[in-house]
Amino acid sequence: MTPILLFLEKYDNLSNTATSSQNIAVNFQDTLRLKIRVLIKKLKIYRNYCWNIGNFCQMRRI
């Protein structure tokens, strides 16, 4: 079992409702999705930055 599932199961047992653990799962998914989106954005910026530096270096070489 993954730690996330264990955590959700524990929380579910504490509150005795399935809805609360579902809410946590949804919130967790949302934060994960947001983190991935930010990471992709950073990677795109980094890639463009490197590409521009590469072009600059090529221009300087000529």
Farthest-apart Cα atoms in the chain, separation = 70
**Domain of residue 19, residue span:** 3-61
Alpha helices in the chain (DSSP H): 3-15, 18-61
Domain count, the chain: 1
pLDDT recorded at residue 30: 80
Identify the DSSP state of 2.
Answer: -
In tens, the pLDDT along 3-62 reads 776 776 766 665 555 566 667 777 777 888 888 888 888 877 777 776 676 676 666 654
Phi and psi at residue 17, in whole multiples of 5°? -135, 140
Q: Which amino acid is at 25?
A: A
Whole-angstrom distance, CA of residue 25 vs CA of residue 51: 38
Is the pTM above the cut of 0.75? no
Q: Is 8 exposed, middle or buried (0-12, 13-18, 19+ CB in 10 A)?
A: middle
